[in-house]
Amino acid sequence: MPSPRSFEKTLPALALSLGLLSACPAPGPTDTAKQPDDVAKATALLEASARLPPRAEVVALADQIAVLATKEGAIEEQAKLDVLAADLRARLHRIEGTEADAREALELYAAAARVARGTEAGCRADRARALLLGELAHDASTSYRELYLVKRRQASLAADGKTSACVEALARDLALAQGYRPAGADLAELEREGDKAERTVAAAAGTTSASIVPVASTGSPPADLIVAPMDLKPAKGTAKIEKIEKFAAEGGGRVVIHLSEPTTFQVGTLEADDKTGKDARIYLDIEKATAKGVSREIDVGGAIKRIRSGPREGGARIVLDLSSAMHRRVFYLPEPFRIVIDVSSRPPEQKAPANGPRTVKRVAIDPGHGGHDDGAVGPTGLKEKEVALDVAHRVAPVLAHELGVETLLTRDSDVFVPLEERTARANAFHADLFISIHCNASESGEARGIEVFVLDELKDTSRAAARVAALENGLGVKKGIDAESLDKEMAQIVGRLQSGEIANSSRKLGDLVARATLASFGTRYPDTKDHGLKSAGFYVLLGAEMPAVLFETSFISNPDDEGRLAKADYRQKLADGIVNAVRAYREGK
Ligand SMILES: [Zn+2]
């Protein structure tokens, strides 16, 4: 679970990664000042000559370092700390023979390999895990097998086909274990597994529990973030690929694959090949799926040249031909089942905004609904889509003139824009904030007032909030959708996709939107009820790479609120509220 990270906490970690801490203890609270001691102590305990203190003490130290790892922002450093903790537990196992220590070490190695996939530290963790597995099996052929699979996986991950020191070490390991290489059918089977390991290095096999957003530094190999359903099985029947939507942008893009039913999928990459002239590719193997209904080749433009689709054994394969190697982020939306592939020349980085003034140069304003989608309609026929667009048109010029902020409207007229395209546009625009504008609706028509929503995994699931989300997600309330369980699944996806920093900043912005709007209403609409800041699974906010809120400006389903929403004066006050919230957010309030 991503933990809120403050600048004070990342500072020692950063210093540690630069090798500064051992020479110069970091200033700050006592718990962070202890960190270099722990790392130094653990390192010393791994010396062959070191005598281990009692087990409980070593376990506590390993746990402490594993906690440090979760606070670390740079993936390689995080992996190194995990490996350090794992090495301690492995050493305990070797001396005391405790099974729990071996298990813990294996998990820590796996976590490090996962988080730092494609880096030297990730490879080292993967190798350490394979060696320990062989050791535990007391069987050299298991060692050979595990090392072989790691080598295949890591060699294909190594950037530009360059051989890393770790891959070379793996080759030496294998040469030493050559006598235990399987033969005949067993060897063929192992090679097939190796092919699979290579193809699906970024396998979204549903077992990944990547809760930490990889933060890759510039110049590192492409980073991945893959969120697949946790406990999904392949489709029972055939999952039909019904539609492939594309969004093209310079330096990025998004592809959304709509399926008739949920199924499992795996993701892989292939490097560009100068000899054959083949582009860098991302592919998605969707089990039990058929691509019969969609064109075999779709031109996109920008970073994604084209999308190709076709059958493969056991399902369908979708291939994205890229203009260069790209960072990937793949996630899914549950209802209806869709797989979203984001590619970007920038890593899927979600920075922790520092305290004090924040950078807000670009703001994406998202007027809800549009075109055939009216949104909610009031008792006298006022449409949510009209109010949302008009408020957005009042916000954008003021943001530009008064705050000097560049703005993007996800729609500028009465047109339909799919929910997934809205965040894709905001991401491509490199927006610093995303504000979605809507009107609320209640069943009885009695409710009034303002309500602001964010996406957060640490949410208190409320039926009412889940219902609002289902409505805004275009699912209605009478289609047999279980809004609450859908909302819980969305919270899970959010937890794995979005960093804690983004959630915190979204809450801050949401709080400011509510407060600034009430202040803007002032004495003119003093009776406005504030329903507070809530969290629910809104599709339109999922996948935003910046703090994002959904503002329910008032209840269009209530005759009095509808009357106000129809007035220019009220809409202007709403717009002023949003502008003042952005201003306050930028000033660090
Ligand atoms: Zn709406």
Q: Does 151 map to a domain?
A: yes
381 and 239 assigned to the same domain:
no
* Cβ contacts of 234 within 8 Å, gap of 6 or more: 263, 264, 287, 288, 315
Q: Does 167 lie in the same domain as 52?
A: yes
Main-chain dihedrals φ then ψ at residue 419, nearest 5 degrees:
-60, -40
Q: CA 384 to CA 216: how far, in whole Å?
A: 41
How far, in Å, is the centroid of ligand 1 from the Cα of 342? Answer: 25
453 CA distance to ligand 1 centroid (A)? Answer: 12
Instruction: Single out the residue of 546, 564, 271, 577 nearest to residue 428, CA to CA.
Output: 546
Q: How far is the CA of 390 from the centre of ligand 1 (A)?
A: 14
CA–CA separation, 504 vs 187, rounded Å? 51
- Please name every residue paired with 321 in a beta bridge, in sequence order, or none if there are none: 281, 306
In a domain, 327, yes or no: yes
* Phi and psi angles of residue 293, each rounded to the nearest 5 degrees, phi first: -80, -5
Q: Are residues 334 and 376 in the same domain?
A: no
Expressed in angstroms and rounded, the spacing between residue 520 Cα and the centre of ligand 1 is 22
320 and 377 housed in the same domain: no
Number of domains in the chain: 3
- How far apart are the CA of 388 and the centre of ligand 1, in A? 8
Half-sphere exposure of 220 (CA within 13 A, CB side): 22
Tokens of 231: 């406990």
Which pLDDT value is given to residue 413?
96
User: Which of 291, 310, 344 represents a domain boundary (last residue)?
Assistant: 344
Residues 6+ apart with CB under 8 A from 346: 251, 252, 327
Structure pTM? 0.63
Same domain (yes/no): 561, 511:
yes
- Alpha-carbon span 540 to 472, nearest angstrom: 8
Same domain, 297 and 367: no
CA of 439 to the centre of ligand 1 (A): 6
Residues contacting 94, CB < 8 A, separation 6+ = none
CATH code: domain of residue 528: 3.40.630.40
**Ligand 1 mean position, distance from CA 539 (Å):** 11
Give the CATH number for residue 338: 2.60.40.3500
Residue pair 189/167 in contact (Cβ under 8 Å)? The answer is no
Please tell me whether residues 333 and 399 are part of one structural domain.
no
What is residue 189's three-state secondary structure?
helix
Query: Phi, psi at residue 273, to the nearest 5°?
Result: -120, 110
Q: What's 243's DSSP letter?
A: E
Backbone angles phi, psi at 290, to 5 degrees: -130, 140
| Beta strand spans in 313-358 (E) | 315-322, 327-333, 338-344
pLDDT tens string, the chain, 589 residues long: the values are 333 333 333 333 333 333 222 323 333 333 444 566 899 999 999 988 888 899 999 999 998 898 888 777 778 888 899 999 999 999 998 888 888 888 889 988 988 888 788 788 888 999 999 988 888 877 777 888 888 888 888 877 765 556 688 888 888 888 877 777 787 778 888 888 877 776 655 333 222 222 222 222 233 345 567 777 766 778 888 999 999 999 988 888 999 999 999 888 888 877 788 888 888 888 888 989 999 989 899 999 888 999 999 998 889 999 999 988 888 888 888 888 999 999 988 776 555 555 678 889 999 999 999 999 999 999 999 999 999 999 999 999 999 999 999 999 999 999 999 998 999 999 989 999 999 999 999 988 999 999 999 988 766 667 788 888 888 888 765 566 788 888 888 887 887 777 778 888 999 999 999 999 999 999 999 999 999 898 888 888 888 989 999 999 999 999 999 999 999 999 999 999 999 999 999 999 8
Q: DSSP 3-state assignment of 332? A: strand
- What 3-state DSSP class applies to 119? coil
Q: Are residues 476 and 440 in the same domain?
A: yes
Cα 200 to averaged position of ligand 1 atoms, centre (Å): 39
- Is the bond leading into 336 cis (omega within 30 degrees of zero)? yes
Q: Ligand 1 centre and the CA of 384: distance in Å? A: 7
* Token pair for 310: 């076709």
Q: What's the 367 CA to ligand 1 centre distance in angstroms?
A: 9
Side chain identity at residue 423, one-letter code: T
* CB distance 337 to 381 below 8 Å: no
Residue 352 located in a structural domain:
no
Give residue 195 CA to ligand 1 midpoint distance, Å: 47
Full domain range(s) for residue 105? 7-199
CA–centroid distance, 98 to ligand 1, in Å, is: 56
- How far is ligand 1, taken at its centre, from the CA of residue 472, in Å? 5
Identify whether 536 is part of a domain.
yes
Q: With CA atoms as reference, report the closest residue to 285 among 246, 239, 218, 352.
A: 239
**E strand map for 417-539:** 433-440, 450-454, 530-535
Q: Is residue 476 located within the same domain as residue 400?
A: yes
CB contact at 8 A, 454 and 548? yes
Q: Are 10 and 352 in contact (CB under 8 A)?
A: yes
**Is 470 domain-assigned?**
yes
CA pair distance 44, 435, nearest whole angstrom: 51
The verdict on 558 and 473 lying in the same domain is yes
Shared domain check, 367 and 339: no
Using the mean position of ligand 1's atoms as its centre, give its distance from the Cα of residue 523 in Å.
Answer: 27
Both tokens assigned to 416: 């339909």
Q: Which residues contact 268 (CB under 8 A, 6 or more apart)?
A: 199, 200, 201, 202, 203, 282, 283, 285
- Residue at 351 is within a domain: no
User: What's 276-290 look like in SS3?
Assistant: CCECEEEEEEEECEE
* Ligand 1 centroid, distance to 583 Cα (angstroms): 24
Q: How far does the centroid of ligand 1 lie from the alpha carbon of residue 286, in Å?
A: 32
**Measured in angstroms, how far is the CA atom of residue 86 from the centroid of ligand 1?**
48
